[in-house]
Amino acid sequence: MENRSFMDKFADVLGNVATKINSLRYIKVIKEAFAALIPVIITGAFGTLFSAMVFDTENGLAQLGPLQFLGALKPIANSISYVTLSFLTIYAVFLIGIELAKLNQVKGVFPGIVAVMSYLSVNPTTFEFLFEEKSVIAENVLAKQFTDTKGLFLGMFIAILSIELYCWLGKQDRLKLKMPDTVPTNVSVSFSALFPTILTVSGIATLGFAVKAMTGMYMYDIIYNLVQKPLENVVQGLPGILLLMFIAQVFWVIGIHGNQMVKPVREPLLLAAIAVNTEAFEAGKEIPNIITMPFWDMYMSMGGSGVTIGLLIAIFLVGKRDDMKEISKLSAAPGIFNINEPLIFGLPIMLNPILAIPFILTPLVTGTIGYVATYLGFAAKAVVMVPWPMPPLVNGYLATAGDFGAVITQLVCIIVSVLIYLPFVKVSNRQQLQSAE
């Protein structure tokens, strides 16, 4: 029996890890929920984009004389941003509730409602604020931090806890109301969910009350300050985002979809970061976050994972292998829209020691360039969630609401990516020549 290479053994180990991670029920649920939320986030982002670039009377088209009437339409765009980004946690809780119930063989959308009720039950409905230097308490209101992205981690936790409890209670025969056969099926099903719903929402509300009584803090304060905020700080730092990218790239190299592996960690944090930026931009406040979901796409995934737009250009410039040139020609069109599976599995990059090195290294370098350029103020921070298939340079312009510094930075990153890939493409050329001799 032939000896297996280190690469084969390494691939097996990481493959087993990937399989175990992907099989975790809560990871699957969170991935599905956030995939469904993408249209919500992009809708809100385009509301902000139109607000800034069309309806704004200082910087948008509305500043032009014949188009000044567009300024009166700005409330439309503002309301779109509000109902999408300011309620992201509520939508996430609802979707997680439905997805988790599906895994428990409970169909329908009602579990999503149970999850939302449970989440709302642990948050305060009073809000204290200053008005004319006096402290005022507003009752029967829900503060924005409980519905926007700041509540995401608590929302995910409560959604999972409440639906697991709800589904378990729903399987207890003693809690099922037996209705006569003459009662319509939909009515019978609704009544069968009565006691599980009452007990679930009451139990979660009691838990929230107990936590507040024992600690003096609401569950939101504990989760946000001890879990979500530290994680956001890690990912908002350059080392944190580079580590996340490195892990994704290593998985790609062994043939596993790297983005899917880091998605459960990446999506809640980076989508929350762009939502915060969008709201700050809409309100005319300072933009807080450099690293967001568009940052990942703009500087670390141009042409797809590994910034393979640089690899395509390098092959077109110096590639001599017919197989690589043909695959590159076929991959060019999808590569413009950041789809690079044909390259990863066609060249292949997967399990290819020569191309794997620049594939892992390039997004770390371009991500660093993008971060430094943004930190120094040369490139603007992203404020609009742009769909990931948007071509490079175009996505940078739109994501930053029309900043050419970001576009120039992307162009620099593309040139750097070509320079990184070039020597490895030349090595691949020589490798084929040697094997042909």
Looking at the structure, do residues 255 and 404 belong to the same domain, yes or no?
yes
**168-217 tens-digit pLDDT:** 998 888 877 676 666 666 666 677 788 899 999 999 999 999 999 999 88
With 90 as the cut, is the pLDDT of residue 323 above it? no
Task: Specify whether 211 is located in the same domain as 306.
Answer: no
For residue 67, pLDDT over 60 is answered with yes
Which of 48-62, 68-82, 367-381 is predicted with the least confidence, judged by mean pLDDT?
A: 48-62
Distance (Å, rounded) from C-alpha 262 to C-alpha 269? 11
Residue 247 within a domain: yes
Domain closes at, from 236, 270, 286 = 236
Q: What is the pLDDT of residues 109-119, one digit of tens each?
A: 999 999 999 99
Least confident of 124-128, 154-158, 187-191, 349-353: 187-191
The answer to whether residue 260 scores a pLDDT higher than 80 is no
The answer to whether residues 277 and 378 belong to one domain is yes
Number of Cβ atoms within 10 Å of the Cβ of 375? 12
227 in a structural domain: yes
- 8 pLDDT band (50/70/90 cuts)? low
Q: Region 276-283: what's the mean pLDDT?
A: 87
Please state the rounded mean pLDDT for residues 393-409.
93
Distances (CA, A) of 208 to 20, 91, 118, 220: 32, 21, 10, 9
Domain shared by 221 and 245, yes or no: no
The reply to whether 102 and 221 lie within a common domain is: yes
- Establish if 11 belongs to a structural domain: no
**Does residue 356 share a domain with residue 209?**
no
330-389, pLDDT tens digit by residue? 888 888 888 887 888 778 887 777 888 899 999 999 999 999 999 999 999 999 888 888
Residues 133 and 218 placed together within one structural domain of the fold: yes
Establish if 14 belongs to a structural domain.
no
Q: 134 by DSSP, 3-state: which?
A: strand
| pLDDT attached to residue 52 | 72
Is 283 found in the same domain as 389?
yes
89 within some domain: yes
Same domain, 53 and 67: yes
- What is the DSSP annotation of 76-122? HHHHHHHHHHTTHHHHHHHHHHHHHHHHTT--SSHHHHHHHHHHHHT
385 and 316, same structural domain? Answer: yes
Above pLDDT 70, what percent of the chain?
89
Indicate the number of domains in the chain. Answer: 2
Give residue 53's domain range: 27-236
348 and 422 together in one domain: yes
* 114 found inside a domain: yes
Give the span between the Cα atoms of 92 and 97, in whole angstroms. 8
In a domain, 341, yes or no: yes
Give the chain's mean pLDDT: 84
Q: Does the pLDDT value for residue 433 go beyond 80?
A: no
Say yes or no: 265 and 216 in one domain: no
Confidence tier at 23 by pLDDT (50, 70, 90) = low
pLDDT value for 39: 84
Whole-number pLDDT of residue 1: 41
Per-residue pLDDT averaged across 27-37, rounded? 82
Could you say which of 207, 236, 265 is where a domain stops?
Answer: 236
Pick from 186, 218, 236: which residue ends a domain? 236
With respect to residue 4, please indicate whether it lies within any of the assigned structural domains: no
